[in-house]
A and B are shown apart, each in its own frame.
Chain A
Amino acid sequence: MSIIARKNLLKLAWNIQLKCVRHHRVIPMPDPMPYTTAIWRKRYPYRHKTQFEVTHDEVYTKDMELKTLEERRQEFDPQPIRVDKVNIGFLSPTNSVSTSESRKRFEHYANQRNRADLKKLHYDGALRLPIDEVHDDWLSSRYFSENLRMIADHYGVFDDLFKHGYFVPRIPLNVNYPYDNDQVTPIYSGNRLYAKDASEKPQVKWKSTNESNEYYTLIFTNLDGHLKEDNAEVLHWFVGNIPGNQIDKGETLCTYLPPFPPNGSGWHRCVFLLYKHQNGPINFSELYGLLPENSVSLEKRTFRTFDFFNKLCSHLRPITLAFFQVAWDTSVKNIFHNILGMKEPRYEFDFEPRYLPPQQFSVEMAPFHRYLEQYRDRKDVNEEVIKHYLKMTCPFNGYPNVPKYPLAAPNEKWVPDWYKYELVKYHKRQGKWKMMPF
């Protein structure tokens, strides 16, 4: 018999015992889940719990040391490109309120505050402001300019027209499309119209001071409707060198073409931009280039406002804008066939493709009908639904007899389980049947 001699045998034995026994002393652990937010109290009272529950605290106090989003962004991209926007329009408002006028206004407010009849209207909830008058007054105030700039920013109009430029529109632009007899479709800022309403030339009016050397240019473009290139606009109407207020006396360098948003392409923004000339009339063919006069060719009507303004920025300055949104309508077909002379395109929304692993021949632990249905073309699946719906609502078959509680009625024939679950889905209108109108 040999004696196992070892230094510190007792200590070794004690350590082995310690490892075997659960102990509640704190053990440093690597940080397994750094971005959690659970924090336990330090003095956990239940000492009989295992080490993991007690050292929970030690692990998750590192929350406070986590970096903020800004710091992590900084690490990722230490010098992001910053572009400050440039104001390319008129800096000062055209009709600012003079001090005498504002003093009068404050006097008016003081008078209003002392009127007992008005206060009674307030209290009774019977006060009704004249909305038309408020609208007219608002059009000539700086709040209108600011609001129009905000909404144009919201629709991304400035980003697409002048990339890093913007301007504050100083005067209101009244654009009215003729509708029916005397009625009129007005354009404000972001109106939604159908193409039928914009098929004729609109009446455009703005307020001009009666100076002799005042010239304007009106440009009407479609920011989203270019069928070939992504960053270009389509020029629909160009009238240059308009003296004062009268569009008829300006040079129409591009005849009016109604907007033609193709089917399925969503809402296109169409913008009326009014530029004011700095010094008199401009010779556009010299400074900018050829503009399509009567031509209907879409290639010639490709337009980029950024390039246009770059070339002519010393002669022009944008003073106001008005824009609306157009969507497809049956009249667009006529525009394509009769005016443009091309086939009408039809678009569909491009949904993000769902990720599916490559299809395997045989799959274990997966219901075969659902697996196979995943790999079918979505259009075939929808076609089935539509055909079923048409069969149900066929006018020769009479009113469809939809039972009130279809799942309560038992099946007459025996049917395999997987088919039963498919029927349940059909009755509940889940999955592909969700599109059924009833």
Chain B
Amino acid sequence: MNIIRRFLSTSTENSAYTISSRLLNRNPRTLEWQNLQWRATGWPLQYPTKDYLHRARLLSSGRHLIAQINHYYTGNVCVQVSTREWAIRKHLATCKDRSVAYNLALILAQRAEECGISKIHFGHPHDQRYEKSSRLQYFYRGLIDSNIEFEQTEDNQTQATRDAIDGINYDEHERDVRYAPPKMHYPPDAYQEKLHYFQLGLNKKNELLSNDDTNKERKISS
């Protein structure tokens, strides 16, 4: 008869140890990593959105730039990088430049990974504030280049067109962060066409001004 030994361990110290049926995990962040934490999804018209766990932010004080990662529920600052640090500032000429913002993003992402934060939300990739400030654009570029993941909402994401960003910022009443259309120097249909060709890298020739003979008859007749 083969008696198969159940456990290989020879210690019998834990044979009388009865575990309780419930285990309390006191880690306040465990629910977030397990995707079981309630998210603030009830603010679809709020822009910038509140539906994030960790948000990357770029602040500027009088002479320095500060890159932070905030946590939504507690409001804690989890990770902070600023140009005040000697380690960073000794390599810089100016502290509030856009390339500084790029490097701060890379360092911020590295420190966030060390702290266990693998997913980040960046507040406003396509609004007026972002388009005006190349510093923010470089910061976003730095976050992308650092290969850190971005948070995604669970439900089906429709393509975020500019017109869809319509919400009201309930948090900051003074500043209007809504998307404002760019200044148009041409009538709308001509502008769209021109923009299209510009993005393709081509110069669209104006039909009426070209020197082709093919169009002359049309021009004369009309």
Contacts and interface: CB of A to CB of B under 8 A. Distances in A.
Q: Is B one of A's binding partners?
A: yes
A112 B92 contact: yes
B185 to A, nearest CB: 28
B98 A125 contact: yes
B110 to A, nearest CB: 6
Contacts of B86: 97, 105, 137, 141
Interface in B95-135: 97-100, 102-103, 106-107, 110-111, 114-118
A138 B85 contact: yes
Given A228-B19, A262-B23, A341-B12, A113 B94 contact: yes
Interface in A323-379: 324-325, 337-342, 345, 347, 349-350
Interface in A291-348: 295-300, 324-325, 337-342, 345, 347
B91 A130 contact: yes
B74 interface: yes
Given A112-B92, A192-B116, A342 B17 contact: yes
A41 B10 CA distance: 84
Given A156-B26, A267-B33, A350-B22, A296 B11 contact: yes
A267 B87 contact: no
Contact of B14 (A127, A134, A342): A342
Interface string B10-31: 1111110111101111111111
B52 interface: no
B90 A267 contact: no
A189 B114 contact: yes
Interface string A382-407: 00000000000000000000000000
A129 B65 CA distance: 15
Given A137-B87, A265-B23, A298 B8 contact: no
Nearest to B82: A143
Contacts of A154: 29, 71, 74, 76, 78
A340 B118 CA distance: 33
B9 A339 contact: yes
A27 interface: no
A122 B25 CA distance: 48
A337 B7 contact: yes
Contacts of A230: 24, 26
Given A125-B138, A141-B86, A223 B27 contact: yes
Interface residues of A, number: 70
Given A112-B93, A189-B114, A297 B107 contact: no
B79 interface: yes
A287 interface: no
B77 interface: yes
Contacts of A150: 76-80
B4 interface: no
Contact of A338 (B7, B88, B98): B7
Nearest to B138: A125
Interface in A128-152: 128-131, 133-135, 137-138, 141, 143, 147, 150-151
A119 interface: yes
A337 B23 contact: no
B107 A131 contact: yes
A141 to B, nearest CB: 6
A36 interface: no
Contacts of A350: 22
A325 B27 contact: yes
Contact of A268 (B14, B27, B78, B84): B27
Given A153-B76, A154-B71, A190-B116, A134 B9 contact: no
A134 to B, nearest CB: 5
A227 B26 contact: no
A52 B120 CA distance: 51
Contacts of B90: 105, 108-109, 112, 137
Contacts of A227: 19-20, 23
Nearest to B74: A154
Contact of A128 (B79, B103, B115, B138): B103
B110 A118 contact: no
Residue of B10, B28, B30, B107 most packed against chain A (CB within 10 A): B30
A191 interface: yes
Nearest to B101: A125
Contacts of B7: 337-338, 341-342
Given A154-B74, A156-B29, A337-B8, 5 more contacts: A131-B107, A224-B27, A324-B116, A342-B17, A350-B22
Interface of A: 97, 105, 108-109, 112-113, 115, 118-119, 121-131, 133-135, 137-138, 141, 143, 147, 150-151, 153-156, 160, 188-192, 223-224, 227-230, 262, 265-269, 295-300, 324-325, 337-342, 345, 347, 349-350
Please list the 5 inter-chain residue pairs (A to B) with the smallest Cβ-Cβ separation, ordered nearest first.
A137-B87, A190-B116, A297-B13, A188-B114, A341-B9
